[in-house]
A = this chain, B = another copy of it.
Amino acid sequence: MGSEGPYTAQKRSVAGLPTTAPTGSARRAAAAAVHPRGKQTHKTFNNVKITILCGVITILVLRGTIGLGSLVMYDKEGANPHLTEETNRILAEIRSDPEDGEEEVLDLNATFALGPKIKGWDEDRKVWLRKHPLFPNYLNGRPRILLVTGSPPGPCENAIGDHYLLKGLKNKIDYCRIHGIEIVYNMAILDKEMSGHWMKLPLIRRLMLRHPEAEWLWWMDSDAIFTDMAFEVPLLKYKDHNLVVHGHRDLLFDQKLWVALNTGSFLIRNCQWSLDLLDAWVPMGPRGPIREEAGKVLTANLKGRPAFEADDQSALIYLLILQKDKWMDRVFVENSYHLHGFWEGLVDRFEEMIEKYHLGLGDERWPFVTHFVGCKPCGAYGDYPVERCLKSMERAFNFADNQVLNLYGFRHRGLVSPNVKRIRNESNNPLANVDRFDIRHSMERSNSRSKS
C-alpha cells in the first residue's frame, strides 16, 4: 500500500463523513462562515494532522518491507539488509539438486547392507601393516586413533549453529593436537538411507577399511566437546575390548533403559568384530518404513523410550540386550570417567571445579567430555531454552579453552566471555614456561614417574 493510498482514502473518508449531529456541523459551518480566518487555520491544522498520519503509515510500510528491525545483526553496525536475501537465494541455488527428486525409500521387506560382506579383515590388515611400515597402527607405543566427527553439508537452520560447530571443531583440534590424534570431519552424505545420526555407521565402516593404520576409531558428536584437555583415554584398559561406550550395565541389562548407553562419544576398534557389529547394528537404520517400524519395536522393548523412529543409540542398546552373549565380552561399558558427560549437571559447576580440582581427572570433578545433548544449536528447535544452551556452551568452550590458552599466558575474562586477558607476563626465558605449562610435557613427566 503506497503512501498515496491511505492519504486518498483519508480525504475520501473525510469528505464522506457527516457530522454526528446535523446541528453540530451546521453550527461549525455557521461559525466558519462568520470567522473565515479561523476556518483556514482549522483546515490547515487538520491537513497537517492528515499529513502526519500518512507519513507514519509510509514509514511503517517501508519498515515492514526492508525489515530494518529484524536482521541477524550480531551487534554490528551497518549490516546490509539485502545481503541476507541475496545470500539465501544463492544458497538455495547451490543446494538445489536435480537428483534430489529421488525420494525412494526401502520397503519393509528390503535388506540393507553397508557394503559387501568383509571376512578375514584382521588377517588382511595385519599383512597390510607389515607391508607398510611407514603407516604403523602404533606410534610411540600408543595405538593410533582417528577421531571422527562431522555435520551436514549445508548451513545450519539457526545461523548461530555454524559458529558453534566451528568452535566445537576448534576444541577438537586443540585436544587432538595435544594428544597426537588425527581427525576426519565429514560433511558428505555417504548413504541416503542412513540419514541423520545413522550416518555414523557407513562412515565408520568406510574409514576403517580405508585407514587400516587406525587402530581405534573414535566417533564424537559435533555437540560434544572436550573439557579436560589433559585426560587421556586409558586404552590399555581396553586391550581385550573392541567397543568402549559410556553407560551403565545395570541400566542396560536390568532396567533395559533406553538411554543406558550414549553413542555420542565412543571408541570402536578397527577389526573384524567391529565390522560384524556394524552389520548387526544397521538393519534398523534405513529411513522410511523400516526405521519407523523399528522405532515401535524399540519403544515397546526399552524402558522410558518415547514413540519415535529408530535411532542408532536405542538400536545398539537393543542389539546388545538381545545378543548379549555374542557381543558383550568385547564391549566395555565405561562410567569411571566422562567419555560422555551430560552437560546439565556439569556446566554450572565449572567455578567449583576450578577452585577445588584440576585437569586430568576426566570424571565429574573435571569432566573429560561435556555433551550438549538436546541443545541442537544447528537446528531451529532444541529441547532446552536457547539462552540456557548458548550460555552453557560458551562456558564449556571457555573452560576448555582456558586449559589451552594457559600455555600462551592467557585466559578468558570470564567463562561467558569470548575475550581473553593476559595472566602471565612475557618472559625472556620462554622455554621455562613451555616445560611448566605445556600439557604434553606435564603428561610426559607423569608418565616417566609412573614408569620409574
Chain A interface residues toward B at CB < 8 A: 1, 6, 9-10, 12-20, 22-23, 25-26, 28-30, 32-33, 39, 42-43, 46, 49-50, 53, 56-57, 60-61, 63-76, 78-81, 83-88, 90-92, 94-95, 97, 99-100, 115-119, 124-125, 128, 132, 134-135, 140, 151, 153-160, 162-163, 165-167, 169-170, 173-174, 177, 182-185, 187-190, 206-207, 209-212, 380-381, 386-387, 390-391, 394, 401, 405, 407-410, 413, 416-421, 426-428, 430-431, 433-434, 438, 440-441, 444
Contact = CB atoms under 8 A, between A and B. Distances in A.
Contacts of A83: 158, 380, 386
A184 B170 CA distance: 8
Contacts of A19: 15, 25, 29
A166 to B, nearest CB: 5
A318 to B, nearest CB: 26
A41 to B, nearest CB: 11
A343 to B, nearest CB: 16
Given A70-B85, A380-B83, A56 B6 contact: yes
Contacts of A81: 70
A94 B417 contact: yes
Contacts of A391: 90, 94
A16 B50 CA distance: 11
Contacts of A97: 413, 417, 419
B9 A20 contact: no
Nearest to A191: B422
Contact of A188 (B49, B410, B431, B444): B410
A406 to B, nearest CB: 10
A95 B418 contact: yes
Nearest to A187: B170
Contact of A18 (B32, B64, B189): B32
Contacts of A1: 56, 60
In the A-B complex, the 6 residue pairs with the closest CB atoms: A67-B70, A22-B29, A159-B159, A153-B418, A162-B162, A115-B426
A153 B117 contact: no
Given A43-B18, A75-B95, A386-B83, A100 B433 contact: no
Contact of A428 (B116, B125, B134): B116
A416 B444 CA distance: 47
Given A18-B28, A56-B6, A177-B183, A426 B69 contact: no
